[in-house]
Structure 1
């Protein structure tokens, strides 16, 4: 009964619509609790209002979610720009990140039991959600306002705190199978959770959790929406059999027949490769996680030691390697073309090959991300103070392996030149295998070691109540070691062929304090401050002030104002330089101005091409500074209805990022120093380093509603709505420059869209041992990348997940359901930022309707 009262109390004061499900059956009687957003432990009756959503993972898995990434992406307040599917078009190591408010993953702090997990080593700016084992997570607490004063200077956008199970008794075996209606994307998982000992009676508990999951890839030919809108504009001039450039014109011996469907006629004399057909829409993913925790109570103290191990293997397939300008043939070379497709003889002028390594097959990359974390924690009562302290060592090691399909640049250039490989037809057996490249190309490791201690208590009495305070300190060491392997220098089309190894480290120390002050009856203030010292970027002081005002039991007002500071991440500073192709096609502003060849340029090389860009870290970056405001109201006019609205504003100065190539090509005079050219004047690559771009400003409102219908003979019914409306999102592309807005649509082809509205709407029912839920996850539409196109608006995206659950004898739980009940396809988009075509893989799911069966049995 006491636990139910706690859950109801949290709902009343507006902790979040999910709260009644989050804490309703926590084991044990707690006298004092700690919720994300404060370092102060308080008695149940003194729980304060915070803009925190508390999500019970058990409820989320009933939607068919099997990974932390899927759960986080369903949150209305989250708009991630890096998801698992992003690994298809970028060297991300298969990472998936959280991004509250859509501000960027670098501003969302991810915690496990209140402490950090090492950043993913390849992408390097945030914790990979795949490192969190969903099977061992009891609940997720999402703090939606800035928390730099409490958790760290980089918690500008908010905090997502994953809370593991405090104790486990007995052994539970579970598993799930998901079958898609369309081909590809099937998945299966098994998990084991077991523990012994009772903390309250025996004074100790030890438990462990193991889980394994594998998900099939989805290829482009397996989803019609990903290829039905392909046209000649999608053809690449890097093709097999090869095109050759002769006197500024393009020819192919196979033209105009070519080799459809992959190679098709560009015109009567040349061919193009429909490279999109080789692409994966989603990668093949294999995940293994292990978590073990031992806890011991000694009087008023509790000690625990926890180990986490997680392995995420993401395997992607993209088109065979494009071999643009790979070799020059002259008379006397074995495969020098003596005639053109129409029979005209060549006159001995040199020809340049634009080929593709189709005989080697698609480029297959295997990314293995291993996360390990060892955490010691001690907490309890000491001299009347609630204390918590501990030490954590966490590391992520990510390896990029060229599994298949890659070509050795040195060997293939020579093979074309000496005639070992025929660029226009069949070669001798083993010829292509002789130039094949495979092995580890990039091995990166990121480590975080920290120690912290904090204590809190009620300090003294005021007329309106007790003043509570908290004090703490933290020390942290972070290190990045990024090693580019020797073979990567010859891996054409890998994205890191010209990269160099790099490393860096930093020390951070912090002191922080917090107080909660009852000013008047119903009015309380929270004051917090944090002082951080970075050995490489100096000092930072971040204050926060928040209030709660409850003039009546049915209404509560809350608000906060805070400052934030984000030092450039080690990845921002030390990221190795890497050269890769642009996703978009551009015209060389010198050799093909306006799409017309000039100044020695030719159409095949200089017009409507994917050019190379060089990316990398920057040791001359300035820190980012931020300001955040929130104001909210929570009402509960009846015991059955709770609603809240929280308005938020965030400003970030000196944002760190990469200038999109589209902005550079759009103003070549302004960015003339970004263009690096070869000796013959052709464009070699464009420089797009990490840099300070300017300011970012965003605002919006979070809405939440929970209604519990009166009990009926047919069972208990309820409805929950969580939504986020973004009313402002503007940013500068350079310091002092104009502000541009991607809110509700693309800004040209430079800034990715920020959704105006996103919500989760859940209908629930329960009776005795039965329960069911119907959940809608909705994202609003937006203006497409090319608004001049006929389909210039991307339609809204909505999918419904339906499931039913039966609990037998408190031991066996069975859930059956349908994901994407109405089989809604991703809305069409003409975006060209990803290798996937016809839709946006970041904002929409390519799986379609899928059926799942989930079961667990407690022995």
Structure 2
């Protein structure tokens, strides 16, 4: 009876979250009743599917899609341990290429390793730090395994904050058709999805299986004008002196002049404010981009003899992201000589600056296309009593950016003024055709990130100890990474708006090799230990050794204790090392602390420039991690866990944030760049900076209620509480925190508490789901008109509800509501994104939306 209870606890733990648990085995079509050894995330040792509980949370994609989630970005954002802050909405007005990234425990996207079937995917070339979640073919994914703990000893660099492993279907048979449609209660933001898959062959009976999956997904844009909360003019709304008709500045005073005698009433959409005509660009943008995704996945598996499976897989995803920003501002980049159109400056120098927004050209439309693909060969099975796995693969991400319309260039605008085609006094064109002449469009930049890799691992229970079998694993990995980012200089050095006037091409590569070993050691009855170690060699930054130790103790049939400790490392990204020095526009507006040292609110503010660049002398970051947890099964069908964790990262590779550069305390890093029109520029070269440290607790609770006449009910709660999130800006410097607050030294807050709550019901062919996603509130950015206040951004909670009906063995229908109670984004004063009045990284601009899904299997 005691052994049965212990086994029940182990199986129960493998069905719940915590800081970890073993992957569920997927019994293939050979023999569904056989116990099969499977790969476990966070380990190279294969185990029986019901043998042990280890450290992973597993989520079935099917369960998340029933909440109305239809993209990998949405799926990852539904994880309680994830604090993503860069996604599709972040691309509005920014050159992110529409990428979306994971960010476990709020440590940063560069510390979360994303895997596909246990192997790396390529990074996004515009970012260079992390894998784009858009590269994952959602319809081919069966489940997501999440290890929110340091795993460098297993997987190497980038796994300091944890690992997210997307698992594709092992095999598939027959034809399957599926689709869904989502329509918001308000206009804009419709979503539609269609997928088809077909598989042939029974791996056990026929010795082979071949299947392919293809899908199409489209999300429509949402304009600020379609959401009252985004288009409202508030005290926090940022007016721009770039208007139409325009203003001009004399002698770089950052005090634009509006010749009001020429137009005493500022025509819409400009407004009279502060003695000049101004615009509110946040009211003219698309707050959600238009996104279109095509993806395909194919896999062929052949059984060789009785113990070996040879497979080849290929996946490709094409993601197109179309963003809409306000018409182009010209102020700060176009410099005119004194005497232009009869206006003479007091100094007589070339210091006339027009502040014109090119309304006749319309909004700026930018199209980013990312194509991610991966080819993988695998051979796995048993050889001489050893479980082995080996493979070779090639992954590539290719991204491009195009200026579609609404853009102009420095030279085009300057010549139009000098040729009197645009009036510096009125800002109006003398000939309407002039706008067709000064508009520019075309290819802006492109980039590629390639990873060629090969790996092997072997594991076996090598001997019997008094407390159980001793299992070991060893293996190695080799890979080559290549990054290239190229600009079309004929456009990038001239185009106003993208902020790439001085951007230069980047190219870099590295080779990595690694050896690793692991042992599961039964110490005494009910006490197991694990030791893992990995040695990595980088040809550009040297060597790193990463050990990991963990213990698991069954105190009783109802109580399990576990703890782990590890060290890790993260190699500097190729972009950190090889990016040339170049200037980029800031995301926010800043006062010039050199010309206005008082930094008073009356001082003019505008976008500035930052000089960024790589550093080949960077050293790897080093980390330490510790966790302690308890798992309880007090009564049948109830399991709960709590895991305390702590992470410290030393010598963090980073740059000073733009807010810190221009806050008046780093004036030695500021200068007027003559090569950039005399604009104020801050130096932010990549360097090894201070430490960052976070700690918190992961909580998980699951309850399967007693069966009732009206059906079976269950409840699941998964939450993460951050107790500490601190960082230094320089070695030995002061510690700062963005925990529950938006601070000037960071571009986003971290949330003290996040949770996901799901209530399930099932009866016969019917099932239902009600889920909640919750984020705690935080202290706002509080800049500009709110600099002296402590405005609190309210907690944000959304509920999703759906019902499903299995009409027969072939057809399943689902209908539901996303954001059931129409929770609109809480008001925020953030000035980092182009969206105004809320933070689009953390809240849903769609509002209540209705969705329907179907899936048909032949």
User: Which TM-score band applies after superposition, normalised by the shorter structure?
Assistant: over 0.9
**Residue matched to 1:283:** 289
**Residue matched to 1:600:** none
1:101 aligns with 2:108: no
**Residue matched to 1:499:** 503
Match of 1:214 among 207, 211, 218: 218
1:827 aligns with 2:826: yes
Match of 1:265 among 239, 259, 272: 272
1:706 aligns with 2:713: no
1:630 Cα shift?
0.8
Contact 1:15–1:51 (CA under 8 A) maintained in structure 2 = no
Q: Secondary structure of the equivalent of 2:11? A: helix
1:26 Cα shift?
7.0
1:722 Cα shift?
0.2
**Residue matched to 1:734:** 730
Spell out, residue by residue over 1:700-753, the C-alpha distance to the aligned partner (whole angstroms, 9 max, x if none): 000000001000110000000000000011000111110001111112464521
**Residue matched to 2:539:** 535
Q: Secondary structure of the equivalent of 1:509? A: strand
Cα distance change of structure 1 residues 435 and 187 upon mapping to structure 2, 3 Å threshold: same
Gaps of 5+ in 1: 341-346, 598-602
**Residue matched to 2:689:** 693
1:485 aligns with 2:488: yes
1:460 aligns with 2:466: no
Contact 2:22–2:55 (CA under 8 A) maintained in structure 1 = no
1:584 Cα shift?
2.5
1:580 Cα shift?
3.1
**Residue matched to 1:376:** 377
Q: Secondary structure of the equivalent of 1:845? A: coil
CA distance, structure 2, for counterparts of residue 681 and residue 294 of structure 1? 58
Equivalences for residues 127-206 of structure 1 within 5 A? 127-206=131-210
Match of 2:118 among 106, 114, 119: 114
Match of 2:298 among 275, 286, 292: 292
CA distance, structure 2, for counterparts of residue 26 and residue 57 of structure 1? 19
Spell out, residue by residue over 1:795-820, the C-alpha distance to the aligned partner (whole angstroms, 9 max, x if none): 00000000000112111011100000
Contact 1:10–1:20 (CA under 8 A) maintained in structure 2 = no
Gaps of 5+ in 2: 1-5
Spell out, residue by residue over 1:205-226, the C-alpha distance to the aligned partner (whole angstroms, 9 max, x if none): 0000000011111111111111
Cα distance change of structure 1 residues 451 and 246 upon mapping to structure 2, 3 Å threshold: closer
CA distance, structure 2, for counterparts of residue 59 and residue 348 of structure 1? 66
Q: Secondary structure of the equivalent of 2:590? A: coil
CA distance, structure 2, for counterparts of residue 680 and residue 381 of structure 1? 63
Cα distance change of structure 1 residues 503 and 24 upon mapping to structure 2, 3 Å threshold: closer
CA distance, structure 1, for counterparts of residue 842 and residue 418 of structure 2? 45
1:322 Cα shift?
1.2
Spell out, residue by residue over 1:123-152, the C-alpha distance to the aligned partner (whole angstroms, 9 max, x if none): 111110000011000010001111101111
CA distance, structure 1, for counterparts of residue 213 and residue 326 of structure 2? 39
Q: Secondary structure of the equivalent of 1:420? A: coil
Equivalences for residues 350-749 of structure 1 within 5 A? 351-423=352-424, 424-486=427-489, 487-595=491-599, 607-668=604-665, 670-678=666-674, 683-748=679-744
Which deviates more, 490-499 or 303-312?
Answer: 490-499
CA distance, structure 2, for counterparts of residue 229 and residue 789 of structure 1? 20
Spell out, residue by residue over 1:317-372, the C-alpha distance to the aligned partner (whole angstroms, 9 max, x if none): 112221114243655x5x5479x9xxxxxx99985322122221122110000001
CA distance, structure 2, for counterparts of residue 12 and residue 206 of structure 1? 33
Contact 2:171–2:209 (CA under 8 A) maintained in structure 1 = yes
Spell out, residue by residue over 1:526-554, the C-alpha distance to the aligned partner (whole angstroms, 9 max, x if none): 10000000000000000000111012221
1:277 Cα shift?
1.6
1:435 Cα shift?
1.5
CA distance, structure 2, for counterparts of residue 337 and residue 80 of structure 1? 50
Spell out, residue by residue over 1:772-829, the C-alpha distance to the aligned partner (whole angstroms, 9 max, x if none): 0000000000111117566700000000000000112111011100000000111111
CA distance, structure 1, for counterparts of residue 667 and residue 509 of structure 2? 32
Q: Secondary structure of the equivalent of 1:221? A: helix
Task: Count how many residue pairs are aligned between Structure 1 and Structure 2.
Answer: 835
CA distance, structure 2, for counterparts of residue 233 and residue 135 of structure 1? 40
Cα distance change of structure 1 residues 713 and 635 upon mapping to structure 2, 3 Å threshold: same
CA distance, structure 2, for counterparts of residue 478 and residue 218 of structure 1? 37
Contact 1:531–1:540 (CA under 8 A) maintained in structure 2 = yes
1:31 aligns with 2:53: no
CA distance, structure 1, for counterparts of residue 114 and residue 469 of structure 2? 32
**Residue matched to 2:3:** none
1:36 Cα shift?
0.6
CA distance, structure 2, for counterparts of residue 170 and residue 608 of structure 1? 62
CA distance, structure 2, for counterparts of residue 128 and residue 632 of structure 1? 31
Q: Secondary structure of the equivalent of 2:372? A: strand
Contact 1:15–1:50 (CA under 8 A) maintained in structure 2 = no
**Residue matched to 1:753:** 749
CA distance, structure 2, for counterparts of residue 655 and residue 21 of structure 1? 32
CA distance, structure 2, for counterparts of residue 371 and residue 352 of structure 1? 43
Contact 2:239–2:279 (CA under 8 A) maintained in structure 1 = yes
Give the alignment's Cα RMSD to 1 decimal: 2.5
Cα distance change of structure 1 residues 856 and 22 upon mapping to structure 2, 3 Å threshold: farther
**Residue matched to 1:75:** 79
Match of 1:40 among 45, 52, 73: 45
1:667 Cα shift?
3.4
1:681 Cα shift?
11
Match of 2:58 among 51, 54, 64: 54
CA distance, structure 1, for counterparts of residue 731 and residue 187 of structure 2? 48
CA distance, structure 2, for counterparts of residue 176 and residue 456 of structure 1? 43
Spell out, residue by residue over 1:479-525, the C-alpha distance to the aligned partner (whole angstroms, 9 max, x if none): 00111112211112212221111201000000000000000000000
CA distance, structure 2, for counterparts of residue 88 and residue 844 of structure 1? 15
Which deviates more, 350-359 or 779-788?
Answer: 350-359
Which deviates more, 771-780 or 742-751?
Answer: 742-751
Contact 1:676–1:687 (CA under 8 A) maintained in structure 2 = no
Which deviates more, 193-202 or 20-29?
Answer: 20-29
1:398 Cα shift?
0.4
CA distance, structure 2, for counterparts of residue 259 and residue 388 of structure 1? 69
1:410 Cα shift?
1.5
Cα distance change of structure 1 residues 354 and 632 upon mapping to structure 2, 3 Å threshold: same
Which deviates more, 420-429 or 14-23?
Answer: 14-23
1:582 Cα shift?
2.1
**Residue matched to 2:248:** 244
Spell out, residue by residue over 1:61-111, the C-alpha distance to the aligned partner (whole angstroms, 9 max, x if none): 000111111000010000012111111142111000001001011110000
Which deviates more, 585-594 or 446-455?
Answer: 585-594
1:203 Cα shift?
1.2
Q: Secondary structure of the equivalent of 1:455? A: strand
CA distance, structure 1, for counterparts of residue 772 and residue 8 of structure 2? 24
Which deviates more, 561-570 or 489-498?
Answer: 489-498
Q: Secondary structure of the equivalent of 1:471? A: strand
1:239 Cα shift?
1.6
1:426 Cα shift?
3.7
TM-score of the pair, normalised by structure 1: 0.93
**Residue matched to 2:805:** 806
CA distance, structure 1, for counterparts of residue 506 and residue 569 of structure 2? 25
